[in-house]
């Protein structure tokens, strides 16, 4: 009888111990619906190694206090507060890699990623490890900046911008209200504000903006990124456009947007730049030629008759009344009522 009671007691103690072990394992194991590999990925970053190689940003602060304080004010510095980044590597080592060997080596620079000493493409690959997949960055590797070895840190400062309060433009702004997004540099962590950052390399474009007829970029009423995607795209000039649509232009010039019943072929096939110089020109309406007639005759002549109809015989170009084509062909961008683009 006593042995039976002892056996039951042993079973009870064993069951309690089993429940205790099961409870502890449950707390430390992956949550329901999450694989072990998925959890391990939150503790690893490809090419960095295991999480015990990380020392934490507070350790970095001991030598790099000014950089630590700058980053703390940026989106990068606040990633640890976001739910999506829980249990992931954040702070200095999320970009520079694990710092244990760097610290153990007394600040050995060969044991840490230093972006100033890296190739532009290698720098960009580091950034794209997190930023790839976002719509604005998806095409960076097919863009002009990538092909010309312009990396992310040529325009951005991962430690935050110190130029966010600067006004746009290299000439006096019309007024404070016209300044184009003066704090954009802070939000995007740019090294400077638009357009100074862009025209630092694209000097020929700055000259075009100084012509009599131009888009008001230097005055601060527009920015380069209103029309261009600096992170790449399918267009050669990285315009925010698709084939034949000129989305960058019709975002503002909505009355010129088709589709029309009667399309003007140059606009449909080549876009606005077939007739206009988008940054600036010496001609009204930023036309490529100083008169409408010269521009139209580049296509509408006997030489190109197979591509576009020649001007009729009664259009005597020596007579002034026929020299301004758009007096009659008013709807030159396209018409829903007349194939000749009349009123």
190 within some domain: no
20 within some domain: no
Domain count, the chain: 1
295 within some domain: yes
41 within some domain: no
Higher pLDDT, 324 or 105: 105
179-226, pLDDT tens digit by residue? 444 455 667 888 887 888 899 999 999 999 999 999 998 888 888 988
Residue 143 in contact with residue 238, Cβ under 8 Å?
A: yes
First to last CA, the chain: 112
151-172, pLDDT tens digit by residue? 999 999 888 876 544 444 433 3
Residue ranges making up the domain that contains 270: 243-343
Number of residues assigned to the chain: 343
- pLDDT band with cut points at 50, 70 and 90 for residue 61: very high
Residue 87 has pLDDT above 70, yes or no: yes
What's residue 19's pLDDT?
59
243-264, pLDDT tens digit by residue? 455 678 888 888 888 788 998 8
271 within some domain: yes
Q: For residue 335, what are the β-bridge partners?
A: 262
10 within some domain: no
What's residue 268's pLDDT?
80
301 within some domain: yes
187 within some domain: no
Residue 312 has pLDDT above 80, yes or no: no
């Amino acid at each position: 009888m006593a042995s039976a009671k002892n056996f039951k007691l042993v079973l009870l103690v064993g069951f309690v111990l089993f429940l205790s072990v099961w409870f502890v394992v449950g707390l430390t194991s992956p949550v329901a619906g999450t694989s072990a590999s998925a959890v391990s990925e939150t503790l690893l970053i490809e090419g960095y190694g295991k999480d015990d190689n990380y020392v934490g940003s507070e350790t970095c602060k001991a030598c790099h206090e000014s950089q630590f304080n700058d980053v703390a004010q940026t989106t990068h510095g606040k990633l640890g507060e976001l739910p999506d980044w829980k249990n992931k590597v954040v702070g200095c080592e999320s970009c520079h890699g694990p710092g244990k060997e760097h610290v153990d080596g007394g600040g050995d620079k060969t044991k840490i990623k230093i972006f100033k000493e890296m190739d532009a493409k290698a720098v960009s690959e580091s950034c794209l490890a997190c930023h790839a997949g976002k719509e604005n960055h998806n095409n960076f590797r097919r863009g002009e900046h990538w092909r010309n070895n312009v990396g992310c840190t040529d325009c951005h400062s991962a430690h935050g911008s110190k130029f966010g309060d600067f006004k746009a433009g290299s000439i006096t702004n019309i007024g404070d209200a016209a300044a184009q997004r003066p704090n954009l540099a802070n939000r995007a962590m740019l090294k400077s504000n638009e357009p100074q950052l862009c025209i630092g390399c694209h000097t020929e474009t700055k000259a075009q903006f100084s012509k009599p007829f131009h888009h008001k970029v230097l005055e601060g009423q527009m920015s380069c990124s209103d029309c261009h995607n600096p992170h790449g795209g399918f267009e050669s000039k990285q315009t925010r456009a698709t084939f034949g649509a000129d989305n960058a232009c019709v975002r503002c010039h909505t009355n010129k947007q088709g589709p029309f019943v009667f399309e003007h072929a140059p606009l449909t096939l080549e876009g606005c730049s077939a007739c206009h110089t988008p940054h600036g020109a010496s001609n009204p309406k930023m036309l490529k030629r100083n008169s409408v007639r010269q521009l139209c005759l580049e296509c509408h002549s006997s030489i190109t008759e197979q591509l576009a109809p020649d001007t009729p015989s009664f259009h005597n170009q020596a007579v002034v009344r026929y020299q301004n084509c758009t007096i009659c062909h008013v709807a030159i961008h396209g018409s829903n009522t007349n194939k000749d683009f009349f009123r």
